[in-house]
Structure 1
Amino acid sequence: MKVDVLTEAVIAAPCDGVAAYAADPAHAPEWYANITSVAWRTPPPVRVGSRVAFVARFLGRRLAYTYEITAYEPGRRMVMRTEEGPFPMETTYTWEPYGQAADHTLMTLRNRGEPSGFASLGATVMAAAMRRAQNKDLAALKALLER
């Protein structure tokens, strides 16, 4: 069973600033509740081909994985993929100016993949947990950037 979770938030801050902050992996532990550490595997800044290692806790388990940036349009879209572990995943961020004065940002966060082996048995539970986590993460990002 495939997992495809899309969440979004409107953030009361200009699109360029939201995108620059969210696309910088160094900030991930500040707004992702489950990410405990980040380490560049290629020199920064973010660009297509960049590789970044993450350590996270999810559903009570420690996960270590390396994402590769596969698409990057600064201020608009970033796509990262990992093929590691029992749950290869693609994460996509998008940012769009929002509101009459375009002084807000509509940010989407999408995670999709196809768990294999034992992980595939809990795909429905995993998707629900991912949705809850993503909503919390976007709320944390919103709170950080709207200060």
Structure 2
Amino acid sequence: MAVDVLTEIVIDAPCDVVAAYAADPSNAPEWYANIVSVEWQTPPPSAAVEVGSRVTFIARFLGRRWVYTYEIVAYEPEQRLVMRATEGPYDMETTYTWEPYGSEGTRTRMTLRNRGGPGHRFAEPAVRYANRKDLRNLKALLEWRMDPDA
């Protein structure tokens, strides 16, 4: 059974801010606990990403070093980003979605979904735990940046 994990969080920051930051792979080591570094395989675009962009993520997960090259296969600014592994130990697809949350437009509901990967029984709980931790890191980072007193 492959992994299929969907997690979500509400971040007290506008959708455009959250989406722009999260969609930029260069920011991943700041909020993904397991990502050590990022290497662009295509020239970084002027915006966060564009369809066809390729980036390699080097991570430490489950006690191992993991190297994945992802290609951006869909990108709708401030709405959705889909990345698919083109190189690495497992097929994996990662999807982010963003939508304004609440009536004032100052909050964002973000989802993070990972599908594919290893089929052993410990993989899905580990991915779920990591995704929740990463979204909490993103929330804390962006809310701190939005705080005028920080």
TM-score normalized with structure 2 length: 0.91
Residue of structure 1 aligned with 2:91, choices 76, 80, 88: 88
Q: How many residues align?
A: 141
- Does residue 143 (structure 1) correspond to residue 140 (structure 2)? The answer is yes
State the distance in 1 between where 2:67 and 2:85 align: 11
Residue in 2 that maps onto 1:58: 61
Query: For 1:73 and 1:85, how far apart are their aligned partners in 2?
Result: 25
SS of equivalent to 2:109:
strand
Deviation at 1:31, TM superposition (A): 0.1
Which of 59, 76, 82 is residue 73 of structure 1 equivalent to? Answer: 76
* Structure 2 partner of 1:47: 50
CA deviation after TM superposition for structure 1 residue 102, in Å: 1.7
Within 5 Å, give how 1:25-40 maps onto structure 2: 25-40=25-40
| Cα offset, 1:129, TM superposition | 0.3
2:130 corresponding residue in structure 1: 133
Structure 2: gaps (5+ residues): 145-150
Rounded Cα–Cα distance in structure 2 between residues aligned with 1:2 and 1:101: 39
List gaps (5 residues or longer) in structure 1.
none
Aligned mates of 1:13, 1:7 — CA distance in 2: 18
List structure 1 runs of 4+ shifted beyond 2 angstroms: 83-86
